[in-house]
Structure 1
Amino acid sequence: MTPKKEDYLKIIFELGGREKKVTNKQIAMSLNIAAGSVTEMVNKLVKEGLATHEPYAGISLTEEGVSVAERLVRRHRLWETFLVEKLNYKLQDVHSDAEVLEHVTSDNLMDHLEVFLDHPKHCPHGGVIPDKTGHYEEESHLTLAEAKVGQEIVVDRFTDNHDLLTYLDDIDIKIGDHLEVLAQAPFEGPIKLRFKDSGQETSIGYKAAHYIFVK
């Protein structure tokens, strides 16, 4: 399987494709590519039995696709955890090196790395890490963009996207932050938020809010 195909499986999994339909637009935005390229690759995944596609509804992973994605996600997120916790990488800079390492790592090395890291359950951007038997906690698939005005939420995880993580670092939003949704500007304008602990207010772009998962 090509690294490009693996990237698609991972992002569909990350966006919730194990349990719901994921749109071409979501995949394109997350991978920073043209929508036409997504259509072509999705068709390949469908032909190989790794995904299903329902026109005007979206893409989801088959049982086999989920199994492959879980193995890929485990490798990638264990390496991200190692690079951040042990080598002091910044979160937004970790993805590309983790991508290289995951493709040259044996199952035996992954098992030892997991033990060395003391069996982490989540990677630095909040994503679950399946264990060697494929077990993991269920993730939240509610995005900040879906939260209602007046609702109080907790930041659960971020999509693994360099530009997004750099942006969130700039506005200082982190995993575990308790926020209140104050307002959303019309025509897909920014979302205004208040930090519950400090009372400080901030705003976040509507597009970015689609890749912040909350509880």
Structure 2
Amino acid sequence: MKDDLHNTIIRHYESCLERHGDTHRGVDWPNAEDAATRYRVMLDLVRPGPAPATLLDFGCGASHLYQYMLDRGIDGLSYAGLDASQAFCDLSRRKYPDNEYLCVDVLAEPDRLGEYDYIVMNGVFTEKRELGYDEMFDYFSRVLRVVFPKARKGIAFNVMSKEVDWERDDLFHVPVTQLTHFLSRELSRHYVVRHDYGLYEYTTYVYREHN
């Protein structure tokens, strides 16, 4: 049985898919241009290397990140997707049957998550819906404790910024100092915080080793 907190978020995204279909609004991004910016920033996690790297799109939704990669001819990455929503997994498999997709709640079944060079988590933690902040931070922390050990090189995720004119109660606005304290204590001291791409959020790269 899936975590109740997880179910709250899954239900929200599935309702967006039902209303808006296979579009940026179907994964609850307000506009396509900003969504593309997020895909670019997520992929900037990947460090150049001599051999192809494996990439897991955690919370892949409708695999729009993969379509972004195809549209821009991004190679050197072997893509796989994961989502806890059966509806999104089924949609992605229909669109890209040659890709590997895993439909799993990693808190309930952590052993089903394999290892990848890089794991990106775009939009997985930007919304908390009706959850309290502490509830959401606990959920966020538990997921990262499961996911980070499965990344051979690094992970990327985004959360909403505190440096905004106003905060929405349904979004997850995280103080940078609270985040970096958690990362340094429990995951890795090798991290990059990016607040340079013009959206009301920031993306963090966490690496296993220094560059």
The verdict on a shared fold, with TM-score over 0.5 as the criterion, is no
CA radius of gyration, larger in: 1
Q: TM-score range by the shorter chain?
A: under 0.3
TM-score, normalization by structure 1: 0.25
Give the structure, 1 or 2, with the largest relative contact order (CA under 8 Å, sep 6 or more): 2
Between structures 1 and 2, the one with greater strand share: 2
